[in-house]
Structure 1
C-alpha cells in the first residue's frame, strides 16, 4: 500500500495537469449526478479552455518555426467541443493530450527495462583492501593494481582478474548467458557481472572509466536517446493526417449542417500512437538485443539491420575460433624447433593479432622460456619486427617477411585449413610455424540464418593466404572470398559490395576501418575489443557469432512491429472518424474510444520486447 501511495504521489508531481484533469472530470460528473450540469460544465469548460489556450500558444510557436504536429488537431478538437458545449468530452481530450506523456513514459520504461537495468545496477563505490583493512572509495578512485573486495551478490565494479582461488559470477545482464560462470584464480572477471554467494578478491586491471561495464553504460545512454528513421517518418505522417482529419470533419459539418458533427469527428482524430508507438517499439528492440548480449547503439542501427542484403565477415576470430592451435614447427638455417619457437613467441608477445597470442600460448604450454626482447615494433596486419636476445627477428605474413629479407620466401605445403607464420632471423629465412584455426561451431548456421533473413550475398574478407582462406570458406559454404587483403583493401571491398545495405562483422580492433565503412558494423567485443568502439554500430558482448544473426532478426521484427503500430493507430482512428461521420458516435463516447485506441496501439508496440517472429526464425528466440 505504501508503495502504491508513493507511486501515486510521484505521478502527481510529474504530471500535475493530468491530476488536475482527473479531479475536474470527477467534479463535473458529480455536479451532473446531483442535477447541477451548468456548474459542472463551467468547471470543465474553464479547465479545458485554459489547457487548450496554453497548447495553442505552443502550437503557434511550432508553426512559426515550420513544424507541424498533431497539436493542431487536439487544439481544434478542444475548441470544437467547447463551442458545442460538450464540456465532458473536452476534458477527456485534454486528458488524452496531457496523458500522452505519462503513457509514453510508462511504455518507454517497460520497453527499456533491460537497458535501464544495466544503468540502475552500476556501482558507485568499491571496497579497496589496504594495510589497515578494507575502505570504501569512490569508483573513480580505483586504479589498476588495487585489490578489491567484492561481497556476495554485489556487482563487480571494474574489470580485473580473480585474486581468490575460485568464484562464481552471473554475467547474464552482460552476455545473455543464463547460467552462472565459474572463474579460478588469475582468470578475468567482467565488470558488471554479479558475484555469487561468497566474497572474493579482485585485482583491478583497469580504471572505472576504461572498464567494459562503464562503456556499456555509455552505449546504453546513447541508444536510449537515439531516434530511428522510421520514428521520424511517423512524425511526417502528422501533416497529411491532420489535413485529412480536418477535411473529413468539415465534410461531416457540411453534410449534417451541424457543428456538433465537426466536433464528433475531430474527437477521435488525435492518434497519440503516431507519436509514441514507433519510439516504444524501437526501445523494446534495443532492450531485447541487450538481453541477448548485443548492445545496439541506436534505433537507426536497428532500422538498417532490418534491411541488410549483403553480409561481410572477417575470418580470423570472427568466422573462426580466433585461437589457432600450433600443429608443426619447420625450422631453417640451422635452427632447431625449440629455438625457433622461443624466438617467434618472444617477438609475438608484442603483437595484438590473434595468431600471436596462440603462438605465445603454445610456447608456454610446451615449457619454452621466452627470451629477453630489446625492442619490438608491430606493423599492423603484417607482422612484428623485434630484437630478441641480440638477434633481429621478423615474424608475420609471407609478403612482409619477403620484404624484410629482400628475397622471395618459399610457400610451404599446407593441409586444408592450415596457415603459416613466416620467420626471418638475422636476415636469413628462419622457417615457418604452422597453425590451424578451425571454424566456429556456430558459423555455418549463422550464415544460413542471415541468408534466410535476406542477406543473400555473403563474402569473407581476410588478409590470410589463398589456400587457407578458400579452405575455411569451402567448409562454411561461402562462395565469395577475398584473400591477402590489407585494411584499405578491405574497406574498398565493402564499399564496392552490392546489393546494399552491407553488414560487416569483425573483431572491433583490427577491423575498425572496415566496420566504419560498412552501412552497419557489428564488433565481436568479447575478446578485448572495447564495447564503446566508435567504428561499430553494435557490439556483441558474448563470444558467439550467432548473436549477429539474432540482432538482424530482432531488428526486422522491431521494424515490423513499429510500422504495424503506426498503421494500426491510423486505421483505427480513420475507422472511428468514418463512424463519427454518420452521427452515431457522441463526443464523449468517441473520446473514450480514442483512449482505447491509444492503449491498444501502445500494447502492440510493446510486443517488440518479447514477441516471436513467425516461421523458421521463431525457434531461435
Structure 2
C-alpha cells in the first residue's frame, strides 16, 4: 500500500520522476566506469531543466513578479560548467521536488478546510409516505421533506428534529465542531433547528427539511471554504520582499569566493547552498496552516492574503446592532400620538405589517411583538424599503411609514422626538402623512463584547470605534459598556464607508452582520461578517466569515493572523540564515558541491517543518479561546443539556 502511494505521488509529478530517473541512470553509469556518458546525460538533463525553469521565470517577470528561481538556474548552469554534474542533478531534484514538497505540506496544513469539503453529503435519505426510504440527489430535497439521518451521518440540509413515531419527544446529539468550532456535542430536542453539516450522533433521527440544499447553511459554508482552500497565499508579495537582496548577497558571496580563490568551482559551491526553496515554500505553508486553524475555531478566512493582513491589523471598527449587541431587541413600549387617534394595538399592527417588508433586525422584533399580542397583520402590494432608513407600505388603503426619526419626519407633520432611557431605541411611525406614534425597543450588549475588546487591545489593536446608524444616546450607552471611546452614530452606509476609508492607523478591520454593512465590509482592509445569523450578502462581501454568533471570534481571527504571519516570517528567516551560514562555509571550499546540494535539501525541510507550527498556538497566545466565550450563550447550551 505504501509503495502504491509513493508511485502514485510520483506519477502526479512527472518532472520529479524524470529527475530521479536521470539521477539513478547517472549513478549507475558512474559505477560502471562510463563517466563521460554519465556527465553528458546529467549535463543535458540539468541544462534542459534550467531552460524550462527560465521560461517560467521570464513569464513571471513579464507579469511584474520578481522571482528568485534565477539562483537555482545559475547554480545548475555553473555546476554543469565546472563539471559538478551530480550536484547539478541534486539541485534539479530540489527544484522539481519543491512543488511536490509544498503540496504535501499544504495538504497537511489545510486538513481542517479539506475535511469540510470531503464530508459534504451527495444524497439524502427521503422518507416516503409508506415508510420506505429512497436515496435522492441532494438537489431534489424540498422544504417539508422528511429525511432519515443515520448514525454518524452528516445532516444534508437545514431542518428541524422530528418527533418519534409515537409522537414522543426525541433528543439527539450532534457534533457541530466543523461548523462552529464548538468541541462538545450539542443536544437537540424535537422541534429544535438542526444545522446542515452537523454530524449526527449514535442514533438514527428524522429531520424535516426547512430549506433546499442550495439555501442551507452548509452549502454557503462549503462555498466559502472552497474559495479559501483554492486561494493562493500572497507569496509573491511576502517572499519577493527578500528575493532581490537575497539573490544579490548570494551572487556577491559567490563572486568574492571565486575572486579570492581563483577557482570558479567556489562560485558554483556557494550558489548550490543558496537555492531559494525556503522563500518559495515556507510562507504559503504557514498561511494555509493558519487558515486551517482559523476554520477549526469557526472562522473562515478567504485567502492567505487576508491572513497576512489580519496579522497586521491596527484598528478595529464595529457595527452595533447584531454585532456588539445580540441583535434581538425587545419591544418595551408602544406610544401612540394622541393626535393620530390610534390605539396601541392598531399602531403596532400597522407598523408590524409594514415591517414585514423590511430586512432590518428591528423589524423582526416589531413583528414578534405584534404576534405576541395576537395581532393579525395586513399585507401590501406596494411596499418598498430604503436601506437603513425605513419602509413605506400601502396597507388597507393607508400609507404607513416606519423608520428613523429623520426619515419619518421628512414624510409626516409634527413629529415628536421620543424621550429615551440609556440603551433604548425608537422607531417612528407615520400614517397618511401624519405622525402616529413611537415604538420603544432595547438591545443588550453581548456578554463577551468587553472581553473581546480587551483581548484585541492585548493583541495590539489599541484603536476601536463603533459605526452605527442608531441614535447617538443609544450608541454611546452601548459603547461605554463595551469599552469603546470613539462613537459615530446615525450614519448612512456611505458614511461608514467614508469613515473606514479615513481612519488611522491601518490596516482596519470592520466587523458587521447586516445588509447595510455590505459596502463597508467590502472596502475595509479586512471585512469580518458575523455569518451565523447575518445576511448572505454580508458574508459574500466580507474577507472573513464567523460561523458562530460569537463576536469573540473576531479576536480569534486577529490572534491566528498574528501567529501565522510571525511563523511565516520566521520560517523565511530560518531558511535565509541557514543558507547564509552554508554560503559562508562554502566560500572557503569546505563544502563540496554535491554535499552542499544535500545540505540545502535539509534547509528546505527545516523551513517547512517550522512553517507548519502555524497550525498550533504560540507562546503567549490564547490556546483555549473558551475564556472569551459569551456566558449567556454558554448558559443556553447548558440548559439544552450540552
TM-score by length of 2: 0.88
Q: How does 1:223-238 map to 2 (within 5 A)?
A: 223-229=228-234, 231-235=236-240, 237-238=242-243
- Of 350, 355, 373 in structure 1, the residue corresponding to residue 357 of structure 2 is 350
For 2:470, the equivalent position in structure 1 comes to 464
Name the SS for the 1:510 alignment partner: helix
Distance in 1 separating the partners of 2:68 and 2:41:
21
- Of 602, 605, 608 in structure 2, the residue corresponding to residue 602 of structure 1 is 608
For 1:189, the equivalent position in structure 2 comes to 194
Change (3 A) 1:406 1:51: farther
Structure 1 residue 274, shift from structure 2 partner: 0.9
For 1:136, the equivalent position in structure 2 comes to 135
Q: How does 1:282-321 map to 2 (within 5 A)?
A: 282-321=287-326
- Of 4, 7, 15 in structure 1, the residue corresponding to residue 5 of structure 2 is 7
Q: How does 1:197-346 map to 2 (within 5 A)?
A: 197-229=202-234, 231-235=236-240, 237-333=242-338, 334-346=341-353
- Of 375, 395, 399 in structure 1, the residue corresponding to residue 402 of structure 2 is 395
Matched, 1:538 2:536: no
Matched, 1:563 2:569: yes
Distance in 1 separating the partners of 2:48 and 2:511:
51
Asked if the contact 1:508–1:533 (Cα under 8 Å) also holds between the matched residues in 2, the reply is no
Structure 2, unpaired ranges of 5+: 164-169, 627-642
Asked if the contact 2:358–2:391 (Cα under 8 Å) also holds between the matched residues in 1, the reply is yes
The CA deviation string for residues 186-243 of structure 1, in whole angstroms up to 9 with x for no partner, is 4433222212222333333433333332232222232233344454331464344334
Matched, 1:125 2:130: no
Structure 1 residue 420, shift from structure 2 partner: 2.0
The CA deviation string for residues 234-265 of structure 1, in whole angstroms up to 9 with x for no partner, is 14643443343233223222322333323322
Structure 1 residue 59, shift from structure 2 partner: 3.5
Structure 1 residue 171, shift from structure 2 partner: 1.4
For 2:49, the equivalent position in structure 1 comes to 55
- Of 589, 592, 597 in structure 2, the residue corresponding to residue 591 of structure 1 is 597
Distance in 1 separating the partners of 2:485 and 2:303:
32
Name the SS for the 1:511 alignment partner: helix
Matched, 1:372 2:411: no
For 1:38, the equivalent position in structure 2 comes to 33
Structure 1 residue 272, shift from structure 2 partner: 0.6
Asked if the contact 1:231–1:279 (Cα under 8 Å) also holds between the matched residues in 2, the reply is no
For 2:389, the equivalent position in structure 1 comes to 382
The CA deviation string for residues 577-613 of structure 1, in whole angstroms up to 9 with x for no partner, is 100111111223222211111111011111111131x
Asked if the contact 1:151–1:200 (Cα under 8 Å) also holds between the matched residues in 2, the reply is yes
Change (3 A) 1:428 1:287: same
Distance in 2 separating the partners of 1:47 and 1:108:
34
For 1:157, the equivalent position in structure 2 comes to 156
Distance in 2 separating the partners of 1:399 and 1:182:
46
Change (3 A) 1:290 1:155: same
Q: How does 1:396-435 map to 2 (within 5 A)?
A: 396-412=403-419, 414-435=420-441
Asked if the contact 2:418–2:438 (Cα under 8 Å) also holds between the matched residues in 1, the reply is no
Structure 1 residue 615, shift from structure 2 partner: 3.3
- Of 486, 491, 495 in structure 2, the residue corresponding to residue 489 of structure 1 is 495
For 2:479, the equivalent position in structure 1 comes to 473
Name the SS for the 1:372 alignment partner: coil
Asked if the contact 1:215–1:531 (Cα under 8 Å) also holds between the matched residues in 2, the reply is no
For 2:512, the equivalent position in structure 1 comes to 506
Structure 1 residue 174, shift from structure 2 partner: 1.3
Change (3 A) 1:288 1:103: same
The CA deviation string for residues 102-143 of structure 1, in whole angstroms up to 9 with x for no partner, is 211111111111111111112222223344633222223334
Distance in 1 separating the partners of 2:112 and 2:255:
46
- CA-atom RMSD in angstroms: 2.7
Structure 1 residue 564, shift from structure 2 partner: 1.5
Name the SS for the 1:341 alignment partner: helix
Change (3 A) 1:607 1:616: closer
Name the SS for the 1:475 alignment partner: helix
Distance in 2 separating the partners of 1:583 and 1:153:
62
The CA deviation string for residues 296-334 of structure 1, in whole angstroms up to 9 with x for no partner, is 111222222222222111111111110112223333435
Structure 1, unpaired ranges of 5+: none
Distance in 2 separating the partners of 1:219 and 1:42:
56
The CA deviation string for residues 455-490 of structure 1, in whole angstroms up to 9 with x for no partner, is 322111111112211111111221111111122222
Distance in 2 separating the partners of 1:475 and 1:60:
60
Distance in 2 separating the partners of 1:89 and 1:427:
87
Name the SS for the 2:539 alignment partner: coil
Name the SS for the 2:188 alignment partner: strand
For 1:523, the equivalent position in structure 2 comes to 529
Asked if the contact 1:508–1:535 (Cα under 8 Å) also holds between the matched residues in 2, the reply is no
Change (3 A) 1:46 1:225: farther
For 1:77, the equivalent position in structure 2 comes to 75
Matched, 1:91 2:84: no
Asked if the contact 1:525–1:539 (Cα under 8 Å) also holds between the matched residues in 2, the reply is yes
The CA deviation string for residues 506-561 of structure 1, in whole angstroms up to 9 with x for no partner, is 10422111212222211111104228833211111100011111111111121111
Structure 1 residue 21, shift from structure 2 partner: 4.5
For 1:444, the equivalent position in structure 2 comes to 450
Name the SS for the 1:438 alignment partner: coil
Structure 1 residue 81, shift from structure 2 partner: 3.4
Asked if the contact 1:166–1:185 (Cα under 8 Å) also holds between the matched residues in 2, the reply is yes
Distance in 1 separating the partners of 2:99 and 2:368:
57
Change (3 A) 1:147 1:616: closer
Distance in 2 separating the partners of 1:17 and 1:377:
61
